[in-house]
Structure 1
Amino acid sequence: MQYTGVLKKMNTELLDTVQYYLDMNTDFINVNQLLNKTIEMSFVTYECLSCGLEKEIYRQGFCRSCFFETPSAGDWIMRPELSKAHLGEEDRDLEYEKKVQLQPHIVYLANSSNVKVGVTRKTQVPTRWIDQGAHEAIEIVEVPNRYLAGITEVALKEHVADKTNWRKMLKNDIEDEDLTKWQERLKSFIPEEAKEYFIENNKETEIKFPVEQYPEKPKSLNIKKEGSYTGKLVGIKGQYFIFEDNTVFNVRANEGLVVNIKVKS
């Protein structure tokens, strides 16, 4: 079997074990079915996820010009506290920004490499947790817009991490935490504007990933530099492929790259 297409973040489905799907333009692959198979992956070219042109990818799957122009790459994406649609103020495209920012958002705690705070649209729960490789997570605040979620995250990250250690996450070097206790511990640090949106008596969500062998010393694959790679797929966690020789490949970090994937055995 052979597939060629532009890489995009894998789609996921939370079942007893997370199911992963790769949309390769004309093919839709259940990546779980490739476990324990040898895969040859090679870099072909680029395709910007915004304009669709064959231009070198700059960041987040976009070419340089699209990254600085498309509304889906505004600063408020990475820094939700900069959201201004609730004030009627435009960043790049007010209609788009209202559509995304003025909807329910969740501030959550997730445990991937450590307990961290994060923000996502309500419609992206539990997708966001899966993408971060969290084995447990809990919603702590549900607010009506992205700005309130952003200022809550800023306040809470003074008391808890807001980043994931990807190597520790992939090695499964983790400890179970009681996230309900963390939620109560952080409650008093929530900004006044968001206190009324605190979620009482919530429960953790547990997530199991399809991994048969965790890497002892993860080494990241740069498919553009290497050109091609062949290895046995032994796991999928977060947005990473995990191979038997400790090589790992971050699908999301390589969005916009056109690759050829050949399943050899």
Structure 2
Amino acid sequence: MAVERAITTMWDHYSEPLSLDEIADTAVLSKFYFSRVFRSVTGTSPGRFLTAIRLYRAKNLLLETSLSVTDIAYMVGYNSLGTFTTRFTRSVGVSPTRFRSLSHSGLPPFTHSETDTYRRSGAVHGTVVLPPSGTPLRIYVGAFGSPIVEGMPVSCDILDSPTDGCRVREYRLRAVPVGEWYVRAAAVAVRRADVDPRPWARHPLFVGAGQPVDMRADHNVELRIPMRAVDRTDLPILLALPELDNRFLPEPMLAARRTPELAAR
């Protein structure tokens, strides 16, 4: 598939200054037609997808190495530390330095603001429906300002898959401000002998999306989210979860997070 070939090129060469022409060439399409086809398949532009790949790789490098933020910025294709820091902070929700620092303690519990904006809010509730899987899962559900899963959600819920084999799990997003929001979900494998216990080493197995929510004050919206297996055309998840979720992390891994030399190995 043309779009998948282009995405493979992005993953293989994200550190290089790829142009739209070069990416379109790998898909054997004109750049204008390629851009339309790419957006129809992925929901975003080729340039935005490439940026997501670069920032996703930067997240990994911040957690898995002791390289400086400047070195990482250049390694993932940025020529300006300022541009990298701005885009990373906007997309992940915290600065690169803060992201690395939080890897030693985990992300603080998500709390809602008590401003008037959040008082004029409603709630979204419903179910996530998981595909068949014998793997214990942790499911992250959040409301975002765009279809892309990035930044800090305005509201989120973290669930563990049922232990009785049921594939349906209830969620609730409280204090969702007035406006249009996109509810997205991702599920990662947890607590199994053959699953890497480090949150930053776990990759989503399933993703899901609900219809856009037009929230009004004091409304309670019900939304069903069907989950599906991740495929090559899905954008990398840029928010700070699951990498900074320390819950149920074994003590040796917690110690590694608190010790930069170990965390860098």
Q: Do the structures match in fold with TM over 0.5?
A: no
TM tier, smaller: under 0.3
Q: Which has the higher contact order (CA 8 A, sep 6+)?
A: 1
| Normalised TM-score (structure 2) | 0.27
| Normalised TM-score (structure 1) | 0.27
Relative to its length, the structure with more helix (as a share) is 2
